[in-house]
Structure 1
Amino acid sequence: MSAAVELFDLHADGTPPADPLVLAREWLPGDDEPERPQVTLGTVGTDGWPDARTVLLTAFDETGFAFHTSAASRKVAELAALPRASMVVLWPGSTRQLVLRGDVVPDAEESVAAAWASRSDHLRQLAWCNTDELASLPRAERQQRWAAWAAANPAPGQAGSWVGYRLQPRELTFWAGGYDAASRRLQYTRAGGGWRWQHLAG
């Protein structure tokens, strides 16, 4: 994840941006940057228990924070049952975190296609080949099938199972550690057509 120049210091005095996406854009890489952030996506399992996994944050704007996956994945079934999720962005080795909570909606077709086009060959092959059936085979056979598929499909089109979603946050919490003071959170919560913010203990 590339470093961004911070225009607002969470420890500084003064009024933060009225729109949390202004601050999010300072922290997150632009959508055109090929190195995508890895984020933890939390959902509620169909059994009622919390569930989480790491996904790539493909893009974000006023319509939400986008991620893409296989339609056969467990998270898709969980989101169909309860279309709400959380997302945690962690800057390893740094003292920053961003936590999102909100509703999840299907991503637009053009955004799904753009996400596919931006994926590496390896990730595209995963979308086609990463099945429970393949996972159950001995290692040598998995390797043989993987290599055979790659040789037969040098430029695969978009997998039919490739789907996308956008988390539309109702809450964004920016966390910053501190060396000369306690860590601090800046939490934004939707309030009507705008946002309400407050500082909280870290």
Structure 2
Amino acid sequence: MTTLPGQATAAVDGPSPADPLELAAAWLPADGSAPGPTMTLSTIGLDGYPSARTVLLSRFDGQRLHFHTDTRSRKAAELAAAPRACVTIVWPEAARQLVVTGDVAPVTDREARLAYSARTRYLQVLAWVNDTDLAAETAAARRQRWAAFDAERGERPLEPPTTWGGYAVTPRRMLFWRGATDGPSNRLAYERRSDGSWRLEAWPG
């Protein structure tokens, strides 16, 4: 079995914990480490159709999955209208997939600032310049604006723009998929009950 860097060797074909957050903690990077893997964030579009895009998992705090974005974005408007989402994280090299469906709430300003400071310089600059006006420019104009921002700010540490914001997903359903080359794949499906406990079912892969 392939083990991901910094993660325990928890498999869905071994003993299944009663609490899926324990298994998530074994699969996801430890809280406080660098931003985690990319994940597909699916929201309910303003037109009623599903809406999906790729974002970074900023952190998993043991209870919630955090991500950050521009508060002027389409996803921010969709979450304001319907604060529910699904995130999908795939590790092809380890034949694993985690799908989390739940309720979404904004994080504190302090948490959002800490997440910004943990971003690479490239992603910090991107948060400043990557807006609707820039998207409409030619490739050459986009590079020119990027270079102008870099020249103006130099190597000084960047503060997050006022449009920087964060969200956290509190899971209601968690699906852990594990593939195999010598047998069938399978999934563990956890559903949160009204009392906060979890119901577990084994699903075919």
* TM-score, normalised via structure 1 length: 0.93
Q: Distance in 1 between matches of 2:179 and 2:92?
A: 12
Q: Distance in 2 between matches of 1:2 and 1:105?
A: 29
Identical amino acids, percent of aligned pairs: 43
Spell out the pairing of 1:116-195 with structure 2 (5 A cutoff): 116-154=116-154, 155-191=157-193, 192-195=195-198
Spell out the pairing of 1:58-73 with structure 2 (5 A cutoff): 58-73=58-73
Q: SS at the partner of 1:93?
A: helix
Spell out the pairing of 1:1-202 with structure 2 (5 A cutoff): 2=5, 4-7=7-10, 9-12=11-14, 14=15, 16-34=16-34, 36-154=36-154, 155-191=157-193, 192-202=195-205
Q: Distance in 2 between matches of 1:142 and 1:114?
A: 28
Q: Which of structure 1's runs of 4+ aligned residues deviate more than 3 A? A: none
- The amino acid that maps onto 2:120 is S
**8 Å Cα contact 1:185-1:200 kept in structure 2:** yes
Q: Distance in 2 between matches of 1:39 and 1:6?
A: 21
Unaligned runs of 5+ in 2: none
Q: SS at the partner of 2:93?
A: coil
Unaligned runs of 5+ in 1: none
Q: CA deviation at 1:71?
A: 0.5
**8 Å Cα contact 2:21-2:63 kept in structure 1:** no
Change over 3 Å in CA distance of 1:122–1:82 after alignment to 2: same
Q: Which moved more, 1:154-163 or 1:39-48?
A: 154-163
Q: CA RMSD in A?
A: 1.5
Q: SS at the partner of 2:94?
A: coil
- The amino acid that maps onto 1:20 is P
**8 Å Cα contact 1:31-1:58 kept in structure 2:** no
* TM-score, normalised via structure 2 length: 0.91
- The amino acid that maps onto 1:157 is E
- The amino acid that maps onto 1:166 is A
- The amino acid that maps onto 1:85 is A
Q: Distance in 1 between matches of 2:111 and 2:44?
A: 25
- 1:141-182, Cα deviation, whole Å (9 max, x unpaired): 221111011111233211100000001110101001122321
Q: Distance in 2 between matches of 1:96 and 1:63?
A: 20
- The amino acid that maps onto 1:194 is S
**8 Å Cα contact 1:127-1:162 kept in structure 2:** yes
**8 Å Cα contact 1:63-1:166 kept in structure 2:** no
Q: Distance in 2 between matches of 1:159 and 1:4?
A: 33
